[in-house]
Amino acid sequence: MESILANRPALAAEVDKVAEVAGYLWQKGWAERNGGNITVNVTEHIDDAIRALPAISPRYPIGTVLPHLKGCWFFCKGTNRRMRDLARRPMENGSVIRILDDCASYEIVADAPVKPTSELASHLSMHDKMIADGQGYKAAIHTHPIDLVAMTHNPAFLKKDVLTNLLWSMIPETRAFCPKGLGIVPYKMPSSVELAEATIEALKEYDVVMWEKHGVCAVGPDIFEAFDQVDVLSKSAQIYLTARSMGFEPTGTTQEQMDELKRAFNL
């Protein structure tokens, strides 16, 4: 059967971006085995012919009710699929789903019955919040950056805004491009609805959310921008780690220098 992407360049371009970012996650060592997941709201690219397609799966519960997702469609990485395989063959390792009218369940529509990511509750909760916020954000990413996850094994870094200030102080760009910083969600069971709820709570205040001893989540207008947020934080973590492994504690930019940046960039 023909792919849903055939003759739909705008939808194909969104899936292409996901594949490109999936490759970066693998190359960075942030995506061991099936680690991490990506979802993109593709509703604007869904035409009447797609809407008429039958489901190719049973109806699955999301695990929570998300009222803003009524009538929405998502491209999702498949559960237990490798990020590096998603990079090369996105439609074999991910699928397009539609949210049903109860806002609490979904079905798979194309191309293959690949069940979405185990973190779907968190991802769809983030999308629900993005729609409520009305800023046109369409993408969510969860990944396992080695440096940032390692930092959460130090209890001192888990206190409110300690890690954010440390990471901001490593290089000015992090302050500029991740202006709301990194929120911390204390350890919770992967895939749980509790994790999803804590994630969207933290996203009210922060750009990126760290799941203690697990990984980060970020959202953005598209998947490139969501990835960039994590990438700048990881760069800061790398600078910190490099200084520490040279045998000294990095001084960091001063509070004054950061305040100056905040004023100059209107952060």
Catalytic residues: 119
CB of 101 to Zn ion, least distance (A): 30
Q: Does 36 bind ligand 2HA (CB under 6 A)?
A: yes
CB of 112 to ligand 2HA, least distance (A): 18
CB of 93 to Zn ion, least distance (A): 16
CB of 80 to ligand 2HA, least distance (A): 8
Q: Does 39 bind ligand 2HA (CB under 6 A)?
A: no
Q: Which of 94, 145, 181, 215 binds Zn ion (CB under 5 A)?
A: 215
What CA–CA distance (Å, rounded) separates 190 from 195? Answer: 7
Question: Interface with ligand 2HA by CB under 6 A: which range of 114-122, 149-157, 163-171, 237-245?
Answer: 114-122
Contacts with ligand 2HA, 118-157, as mask; x by CB under 6 A: xx----------------------x---------------
Helix (H, G, I), strand (E, B) or coil at 69: helix
Q: Which pair of tokens denotes residue 132? A: 């409520």
What CA–CA distance (Å, rounded) separates 44 from 47? Answer: 8
The angle subtended at Cα 187 by Cα 183 and Cα 193, nearest 5°, is 90
Cα–Cα separations (whole angstroms), residue 154 to 72, 139, 162, 212, 213: 40, 30, 11, 10, 10
Give whichever of 22 and 239 is closer to ligand 2HA, judged by the CB atom. Answer: 22
Q: Which of 39, 95, 117, 236 binds ligand 2HA (CB under 6 A)?
A: 117
Let me know if 264 is exposed, middle or buried by CB neighbors in 10 A (0-12, 13-18, 19+): exposed
Q: Does 236 bind ligand 2HA (CB under 6 A)?
A: no
Angle formed by the axes of helices 193-203 and 120-133, to 10°?
Answer: 30
29: left (phi over 0), alpha (psi -120 to 50) or beta: left
* Interface positions with Zn ion (CB under 5 A): 215
* Interface positions with ligand 2HA (CB under 6 A): 34-37, 117-119, 142, 190
